[in-house]
A = this chain, B = another copy of it.
Amino acid sequence: MTTSVCEATYRCYDDTADFHKKALGIAVGLTVGSWTDLPEARKAEMEKHLGRVVSVHVHEPEGFQPGERYADLTIAYPDVNFSRDIPALLVTVFGKLSMDGRIKLLDLNFSPAFTEAFPGPKFGVSGVRDRLGIHDRPLLMSIFKSVIGHDLTNLREQFYRQALGGVDLIKDDEILFENPLTPLEKRVETCMDAARQAEAETGQKLLYAVNLTGPTSQLAANAKRAIAAGANAILFNALAYGYDVLHELSSDPDIHVPIAAHPALAGAYYPSPHYGIAAPLLLGKLMRLAGADLVLFPSPYGSVVMPKEENLAVQSALIDPALPVRSSFPVPSAGIHPGLVPLILRDFGHEVVVNAGGGIHGHPMGTAAGGQAFRQAIAAAQDGISLPVAAAQPGNEALKAAIERWGFKE
């Protein structure tokens, strides 16, 4: 009999531990509880519930200093032990264990039976592209400059100027909650009206990801209210509400718009080498399994720092064909200006959303020119034309001004 298992990989720091013994303790302790003292007859029944040590890789360099010795442990957990939901999986593999010394959850591999319970992103990379009718270039997303304390007129103006610049997606700020100045449905109506006005000029569709907030039990209803008011995308602070809530929203047939997951609070989990949950799992694999169509995560270019290899591992988890659900659109965010576009495309490839806030609103010629500069940079990078050359071409004045303002990297 083959047991269907989910595998968890941990990095565990300890200067003296017997890591093989520790791994065995986890495998038994987090499944059947005890093994050696079970009667033989019970062992036969319990075997299908018993966790197994898959591998133990000890990192112990010659003459290592205190704090340098660690091991990567992989444990297989029979999926018969838990229900088909992310809370059950996380509590099983990292509930009590998260509090047991210096241990970080690096990765999870789901059994096919577990994965089957997750439809994943409803749209994913190709579905988002279909909605926009854009298949031949990276997408461009922009963020409001500021939202708190602004009224609908002001928000509409900000929205319109962003849309005029040729962006594909505009997202709410993640800290814009239900409020009397710009309540959900009125905000959607106003911004979508601005989108139509801009489309009449630019001929370009766009998605507006409105921030979905409120009590957990009201989120689905709020999403449907927003959609009824015209919303064609949703922004969601997934970690503040839990992966299971994202999964339920993305699985709801009446929420038929792309969902962009925001990484708010992610820094409480991923940056420590010793504790927490690694970014490629936290913001990559689990967000995708839970059904995020787009996932924002810290870019390697800005003030919000994540080591570049970790950024790329997040991206990889979002598009890895090994997971049998649609890909999530990677949206590396923070510190992006038009001069970085060739680098972004080299690092992340074609299937990426270039996302900017200050790099659009801070453009010397204004917000609309900010978007245009990005579009010009994307076109140049795709044609293999260096940014200074492209900037000198007629019609690319916005790009020229952006490069003069922020410089460029190639």
Contact = CB atoms under 8 A, between A and B. Distances in A.
Contact of A240 (B48, B87, B262, B266): B87
Interface stretch (A63-71, A92-100, A315-323): A92-100
A402 to B, nearest CB: 20
B304 A148 contact: no
Interface in A278-325: 298, 303-306
A405 interface: no
B85 A268 contact: no
Greatest chain B CB density within 10 A among A82, A217, A263, A268 is at A268
B245 A216 contact: yes
Contacts of A216: 216, 242, 244-245, 248
A302 B88 CA distance: 25
Contact of A88 (B46, B213, B305): B213
Contacts of A127: none
Question: Quick one: copies of this chain in the complex?
Answer: 2
A274 interface: yes
A268 B100 CA distance: 10
Greatest chain B CB density within 10 A among A30, A101, A178, A242 is at A242
Nearest to A240: B87
Given A87-B241, A91-B240, A241-B244, A105 B217 contact: no
A350 to B, nearest CB: 26
A275 B267 contact: yes
A241 B244 CA distance: 7
Interface string A247-291: 010000000000000111111110110111100000000000000
Given A92-B175, A100-B303, A268 B87 contact: no
Contacts of A305: 101
Interface stretch (A31-39, A193-201, A225-233, A393-401): A31-39
A220 B218 CA distance: 13
B177 A88 contact: yes
A58 interface: no
Contacts of A105: 268
Interface in A173-194: 174-175, 177-179
Given A214-B85, A240-B91, A277 B267 contact: no
Contacts of A98: 264-268
Contact of A97 (B146, B177, B267, B274): B267
B266 A276 contact: no
A135 to B, nearest CB: 31
A145 interface: yes
A175 B91 CA distance: 7
Contacts of A244: 215-216, 240-241
A277 B268 contact: yes
Given A216-B242, A269-B268, A269-B269, A237 B91 contact: yes
A175 B276 contact: no
A192 to B, nearest CB: 23
A33 B148 contact: yes
B304 A83 contact: no
A175 B30 contact: yes
A146 B33 CA distance: 5
B271 A275 contact: yes
A100 to B, nearest CB: 6
Given A90-B240, A91-B264, A148 B31 contact: yes
A265 B86 CA distance: 12
Contacts of A18: none
Given A88-B240, A215-B244, 7 more contacts: A83-B178, A85-B214, A91-B240, A99-B271, A100-B267, A245-B245, A272-B274
5 contacts: A34-B145, A83-B214, A95-B264, A101-B305, A216-B248
A-B pairs with lowest CB-CB distance, top 9: A33-B146, A98-B267, A95-B264, A99-B267, A87-B240, A49-B149, A272-B272, A242-B242, A83-B177
